[in-house]
Chains A and B, each alone.
Chain A
Amino acid sequence: MTVTQQRLAPSAPRAARKHNPITWVQRGGLTTLLFLLPLLIVFGVFSWSPIVQSVIMSFQKTNLVTAPVFVGWDNFVAVFNDPLFYTAIRNTGYFAVLALLFGYPIPLVAAVIMSEVKRMKGLYSVLAYLPVVIPPVVSVLLWKIFYDAGPDGVFNTILGAIGIPPQPWIQDAATAMPSLVLQATWAGAGSTIIIYLAALTGVAPELYDAAEVDGAGIGKKIWHVTLPQLRGILFITLILQIIATAQVFLQPFLFTSGGPVNSTTTILLLIYQYAFQNSLGGAYGEATALSLMLAVFLAILSIVYFRLTARWSDQ
């Protein structure tokens, strides 16, 4: 105890000097602050202030023109009383499940195969990444044409060539959501493939060599070497994908406007509809209330997820 005190004693005046404003300025504190300031202003104005404002707005009734009125929890109650809220949760959940089933394993498999390819590796990477480069709105509008439900639609013509009858794609409540997931997977896989490819280069080749010496085939190498080595990245991409799918907006907005019969109305689309469906100014309070609920849900989900996976991610 005494030893510790003796050890601390000489450093105490130094600590006091550290917090002295004059010394702080002399040591270039102002320059640091100046460098930080633009970032603080940009974040403050464009990120934090809207977040704070929307939290306040979720307890208000406002048309953004006349003075807002505080209404307590009314907006939240209105959201819970809206049958479309539950439809939107179901639809978003369905989208997330489908996107995980198809969108999660496909990039991983593609990356593993591509990393095994010896020739023209670059070309495959470019091809895989190409959909990401196309502006999302353009690609959705293109796919909307491909999804024409007539027998002369692009996809239906291709299916017709192999003897499959024309599909309704986005024109039927049963097939609309899978069609949206198909496009989203196509559009998003490239980015994830690149992440996996980068991570795969970090796997020590000696591990594969050792596995080979032990008589492991390609399947066993992937199962016992590749996947365990990638688990940190896999956990991160999984939570990122869950968050992204919970916030899906572009596809339902541009493909179907939530139809047919609300079968593709997702939570974000519902938030948009609350705010903007009525041209006279919508239920901004309900829109922000639902946004807040989604944000809190995703934050809790992320914390729980990281707690659960922390043990497994430790290398």
Chain B
Amino acid sequence: MKSSKKALAIAVAMAAGTAMLSGCSSSGASDDGGKVNIVVAPVLPGATADALKALSKRVKEFEKKNPDISVKAIEYQWTGTTFAAELAGGTLPDVFNVPFTDSKTLADNGQLADITSDFKKTATANKWNKTVLDVATGKDGKIYGVPWGPYAMALSYNRDIFTQAGLDPNKPPTTLDEIEQDAKVIAQKVPGVAGYMQMTSGNNGGWELSANTFALGGRMEKVGSDGTVTVTTDNQQTKQALAWLHKLRWDDNAMGKNFLWDWSGINQGFASGKIAMYMSGSDVIGSLMQANGFDQAKYGVTTFPVDASNSDAGILSGGNVDVVNVKDTAAQKAAAVKWIDFYRTQPSVDKTAAINNAKTLKAGDQAVNAPTLPVFDKATWEQNQQWIKPYANIPAANIKPFTDGIWDQKIVPEAPSHTQDLYAALDPVVQAVLTKRTVDVDAMLKAVDAKIQALIDADAK
């Protein structure tokens, strides 16, 4: 009797243990009782209470329109290193975003859900520009995502610090020399503030060095007519960009004392007033308001200077693709595409959706008119700007230098092959220039070329 009680206790304990283990592995999204559950990830970690309130309102609007879908929104930020871990661990939500550079390869690797049929049901399916939609199209011609928020690299600056330094915030720098001069003035007149800074770690150092290079007319990779890719970081323009950074750091002492900045770190640094000017995507004010509570009245943005004398010079541009988890059921995929269409696409093309979105964002103190590039065409983009104008909460004058200048800049997409590996290999080069007075840049760039070329050549085998 005693032993059977003991056996029962053990069995109960084991059953409980097994239940706990299986509970760990259960997916957060499933179909239940006719309602489809999806987990979406449209907000950055550490989002302000206002941002979360605005998002919750949007979720409710969507659920009202689609009573058979239940949406759970979680915080998510794409970073090169954590994404691979989440992908490998299978912990990604149903809808998440990846950068332009990654979507095609992930699709071809079978890591994203094919959403072609659901995508074709959306009202804008035929409106898409083929070149833009190409970033979300696999080798098989199927659609694996929906692009949104294309950006160009830009120069963000703190208008208050400009004023403190005696500079005119309505006349931001327009050349590299002017950035250098202004940065020098700021560093001298506002102690403890870096006049200019750019990202150096978490693969972002290479990303921004690529932007510097493109702006001077160089390229990090060249694609031959037969499709072979040659890595060309050891080029004149990259060296010129590094020499410019070296001068700002060592001759002008205009870059502060901290030199390890990744994407979220530099946003924090800028939002807390430690950095006066920095290079980032033109839409970064959206994140600065969402995650750092930055006051948009202080914000200014202008185009990053592009060498007018070089016809190859252009501005690095990129964007995001909302994609769907490959493990989702057909019902979840359909629901996910509806959500992406509602949350990302409709506010760009539909007047009512645009106004509703703008009203919600404004009420939640989130960026309504963060400067982006057109996702469809310039006319649709301009129309959209007119719709949201009454709700715009970033002063038009603050973003005017960018919105006026961007149409004159040539748009250059990111390097196509092993992009993140390339960026990671370039991080130490930028760090070296900023932390060591004497650096053998030639040798470092040659080593990067050899390393990334080996990876590309290995793919071709």
Question: Which A residues have a C-beta under 8 Å from some C-beta of B?
Answer: 28, 31, 34-35, 37-38, 45, 63-66, 83, 148-152, 166, 168, 170-173, 256-257, 259-262, 272-273, 275-282, 284
Type the 1/0 row for B274-295, where 1 means its CB is closer than 8 Å to any CB of A: 1000000000000000000000
Interface pair B84/A280, CB less than 8 Å apart: yes
Interface pair A166/B257, CB less than 8 Å apart: yes
Given contacts A257-B260, A277-B203, A278-B418, contact A34 B80 (CB under 8 A): no
Interface pair A279/B102, CB less than 8 Å apart: yes
Interface pair B13/A38, CB less than 8 Å apart: yes
Type the 1/0 row for B195-221, where 1 means its CB is closer than 8 Å to any CB of A: 000001111000000000000000000
Given contacts A37-B14, A66-B110, A275-B84, contact A148 B432 (CB under 8 A): no
Which chain A residues border B106 with CB–CB below 8 Å? 280
Interface pair A65/B111, CB less than 8 Å apart: yes
Type the 1/0 row for B1-26, where 1 means its CB is closer than 8 Å to any CB of A: 00100110011011001000100000
Complex alpha-carbon distance, A148 and B432, angstroms: 19
Type the 1/0 row for B413-450, where 1 means its CB is closer than 8 Å to any CB of A: 00000101100100110011011100000000001000
Q: How far, in Å, is B221 (CB) from chain A's closest CB?
A: 15
Which chain A residues border B258 with CB–CB below 8 Å? 148-150, 171
Which chain B residues border A64 with CB–CB below 8 Å? 87-88
Which chain B residues border A171 with CB–CB below 8 Å? 257-260, 435
Interface pair A257/B3, CB less than 8 Å apart: no
Interface pair A276/B84, CB less than 8 Å apart: yes
Which chain A residues border B418 with CB–CB below 8 Å? 278
Rank and list the top 8 A-B pairs by shortest CB-CB distance, nearest first.
A149-B257, A279-B80, A260-B435, A276-B84, A279-B83, A260-B431, A261-B432, A257-B201
Interface residues of B in 285-336 (CB under 8 A from A): none
Which chain A residues border B11 with CB–CB below 8 Å? 34
Query: At the interface, yes or no: B109 with Cβ under 8 Å from chain A?
Result: yes
Which chain B residues border A256 with CB–CB below 8 Å? 201, 260
Which of A148, A166, A278 has a CB less than 8 Å from the CB of B84? A278
Given contacts A66-B109, A150-B257, A262-B428, contact A277 B17 (CB under 8 A): no
Number of interface residues of B (CB under 8 A): 50
Given contacts A149-B257, A259-B201, A260-B431, contact A278 B420 (CB under 8 A): yes
Interface pair B260/A168, CB less than 8 Å apart: no
Which of A65, A260, A272, A276 has a CB less than 8 Å from the CB of B260? A260
Q: How far, in Å, is A291 (CB) from chain B's closest CB?
A: 15
Closest to A150 in B: B257
Interface pair B436/A31, CB less than 8 Å apart: no
Which chain B residues border A148 with CB–CB below 8 Å? 257-258
Type the 1/0 row for B248-263, where 1 means its CB is closer than 8 Å to any CB of A: 0000000011111010
Q: How far, in Å, is A48 (CB) from chain B's closest CB?
A: 16
Which chain B residues border A284 with CB–CB below 8 Å? 88
Known contacts A34-B7, A275-B84; 11 further A-B pairs (Cβ under 8 A): A66-B109, A149-B257, A150-B257, A151-B192, A261-B435, A276-B85, A278-B418, A279-B84, A279-B98, A280-B102, A284-B88
Complex alpha-carbon distance, A65 and B327, angstroms: 12
Query: At the interface, yes or no: B82 with Cβ under 8 Å from chain A?
Result: yes
Query: At the interface, yes or no: B105 with Cβ under 8 Å from chain A?
Result: yes
Query: At the interface, yes or no: B81 with Cβ under 8 Å from chain A?
Result: yes
Interface residues of B in 86-121 (CB under 8 A from A): 87-88, 98, 102, 105-106, 109-111
Given contacts A260-B260, A260-B431, A280-B106, contact A150 B10 (CB under 8 A): no
Which chain A residues border B201 with CB–CB below 8 Å? 256-257, 259
Given contacts A31-B3, A257-B202, contact A278 B80 (CB under 8 A): yes
Interface pair A168/B432, CB less than 8 Å apart: no
Closest to A264 in B: B260
Which chain B residues border A273 with CB–CB below 8 Å? 81, 424
Complex alpha-carbon distance, A148 and B272, angstroms: 14
Interface pair B82/A276, CB less than 8 Å apart: yes
- The listed residue with most B CB atoms (<10 A of its CB), out of A31, A275, A282, is A282
Interface pair B435/A278, CB less than 8 Å apart: no
Q: How far, in Å, is A82 (CB) from chain B's closest CB?
A: 9
Q: How far, in Å, is A281 (CB) from chain B's closest CB?
A: 6
Complex alpha-carbon distance, A64 and B201, angstroms: 26
Complex alpha-carbon distance, A148 and B192, angstroms: 11
Complex alpha-carbon distance, A152 and B194, angstroms: 13
Q: How far, in Å, is B255 (CB) from chain A's closest CB?
A: 11
Interface pair B428/A279, CB less than 8 Å apart: no
Closest to B104 in A: A280
Interface pair B192/A150, CB less than 8 Å apart: yes
Which chain B residues border A279 with CB–CB below 8 Å? 78-81, 83-84, 87, 98, 102, 420
Complex alpha-carbon distance, A281 and B87, angstroms: 8
Interface pair A35/B200, CB less than 8 Å apart: no
Which of A28, A45, A152, A272 has a CB less than 8 Å from the CB of B192? A152
Which chain A residues border B98 with CB–CB below 8 Å? 279
Interface pair A170/B110, CB less than 8 Å apart: no
Which chain A residues border B192 with CB–CB below 8 Å? 150-152
Complex alpha-carbon distance, A287 and B204, angstroms: 22
Given contacts A35-B10, A149-B258, contact A261 B428 (CB under 8 A): yes
Interface pair B431/A261, CB less than 8 Å apart: yes
> Can you pick out 16 interface pairs between chain A and chain B where the beta carbons lie within 8 Å of each other?
A34-B10, A34-B11, A35-B10, A148-B258, A151-B192, A172-B435, A173-B435, A173-B436, A256-B201, A260-B259, A273-B81, A275-B88, A277-B420, A279-B84, A281-B109, A284-B88
Q: How far, in Å, is A72 (CB) from chain B's closest CB?
A: 15
Which chain B residues border A45 with CB–CB below 8 Å? 21
Interface pair A259/B427, CB less than 8 Å apart: yes
Which chain B residues border A278 with CB–CB below 8 Å? 80, 84, 418, 420-421, 424
Closest to A28 in B: B3
Q: How far, in Å, is B438 (CB) from chain A's closest CB?
A: 12
Closest to B3 in A: A31
Complex alpha-carbon distance, A166 and B256, angstroms: 13
Closest to B87 in A: A281
